[in-house]
Amino acid sequence: MKKSIVVISIVAVGIIGAVMFLVAGSNDREGTLKILSDRTDLKVKDFHYTEVGDSDVVWEINADRAEYSRKETEASFVNVRVKLITSDGRIYFMTGDEGRLNTETKDITVHGNVVVTSNNKDRFESDDIHYIYRDKKIYTEGPVVANNESLHVRGRGFSLFIKEKRLVLLSCVEATVENWQN
Q: Would you give the DSSP letter of residue 6?
A: H
Q: Three-state SS for 151?
A: strand
Q: Which residues contact 137 (CB under 8 A, 6 or more apart)?
A: 131, 159, 160, 161, 162
Is CATH 2.40.128.130 correct for 42-177?
A: no
Residues 26-81: tens digit of each pLDDT = 444 444 334 445 555 678 899 998 887 777 788 899 999 999 887 888 889 999 99
- 37, 25 Cβ separation under 8 angstroms: no
Where do the structural domains in the chain lie, given as residue ranges? 2-31, 42-177
Burial of 128 (C-beta count, 10 Å sphere; 0-12/13-18/19+): middle
Residues recorded for the chain:
182
Residues 141-159: tens digit of each pLDDT = 999 998 988 889 999 998 9
